[in-house]
Amino acid sequence: MSIPLYFAILHNKTDSALYETFLASKDSLSAEDIPLKDLYPFIANSAIDVIDNIQQANQTNLPYNKTHLHQKVQDLVEANMNSKVEPNKTSFFVENILVKDGSNKSLVQKVTNTHNNPQNINSLPEGSLFLGTIDEYDGYLVSSYVTYNNTKFMVISDKNHVMNYLQLQKFFLNVHDLYLKHLMNPFTSAKGDMPIKSLLFDAKIKVFGDLYLLS
């Protein structure tokens, strides 16, 4: 039984959710049984700070000082990672992204040098729309993509889900295309943050999820 992926589109100015859904395959849990169901929107919202920082880092070089990431660094220190954690490079850096091994709860396993690790973050060019995995919360990975006008797409996957980053890019790119069609509709407001309620939009996102993320 796998846990469905959470997908959300967040508005560029007000950060309210334009659209959110669970991408579930046939054998996954129903939405009511997901342990962190109510927390997902908050995880997504907290990751916005990270996105903003990643995008500003190239211009300003401000040290990162958001509180939830400080907490994360503390957690890492508690897990005997003292020597390897740089406080200014917090959880969105590859070296600091951790996945707890399911079989051995005491062990904090470092994800490196595997095919599906988040190494793409390092090779991503400056100003890239695709940001890779940017944050981690108790084994839940937050992957993100921003459009040109800074609308954020986010996928939250649990630790057992094997993420293929090429497929993830394809998923985001196609959702971007779909979002563009929604935006170009003259009867939607370009500035406002009205939620997307189109059934066809919903159906298509679910098909994209099936096609790229769950197969």
Partner 1 sequence: MNNNLFGYEQDQGPKITQLTELNKDSSILNSFNDKNNVNNQSGTLDLESIKNNVDNGTKLSVNAAKKNYEEGHDVSMSAYLFVLLEFIKTIVSDIDNTNHSKILGDIGHDVGIRIYELVNFKLLNPKKSMSTKSALIEKMDNYKYIDNLSHGSTLNISQVPSSEEIYSYISTTTVELEESGVIKNLKHLSFITLLQFIQDTIWKYMFGKKADDIQKINEDDSSYAIIDNDPLIASLVLPAKVNEFICGIIKGVVESANYKCESVNTQILEDKTYNNKSAYIIKLQK
**What x/- string results for residues 82 through 121 when contact with partner 1 is judged by CB under 8 A?**
----------------------------------------
Is there binding between residue 185 and partner 1 (CB under 8 A)?
Answer: yes
- Taking the complex as a whole, the smallest distance from the CB of residue 177 to partner 1 amounts, in Å, to 5
Interface residue with partner 1 among 20, 117, 170, 193 (CB under 8 A) is 170
d(CA 160, CA 139) in angstroms, rounded, equals 9
> Which residue number, 106 or 123, has a Cβ lying nearer to partner 1?
123
List own/partner pairs for 41-47 with CB under 8 A and 24 or more apart: 41/8, 41/17, 43/135, 43/137, 43/140, 43/142, 43/156, 44/6, 44/8, 44/10, 44/17, 44/142, 44/154, 44/156, 45/10, 45/15, 46/135, 46/137, 47/134, 47/135, 47/142, 47/144, 47/154
Is there binding between residue 22 and partner 1 (CB under 8 A)?
Answer: no
**What x/- string results for residues 32 through 61 when contact with partner 1 is judged by CB under 8 A?**
-----------------------x--xx--
Cα–Cα distances in angstroms (integers) from residue 22 to residues 13, 77, 203, in the given order: 24, 33, 12
Q: Which residues bind partner 1 (CB under 8 A)?
A: 12, 55, 58-59, 123-130, 146-150, 165-166, 169-170, 173-174, 176-177, 180-185, 187-191, 194, 196-201, 203-204, 206-208, 210-211
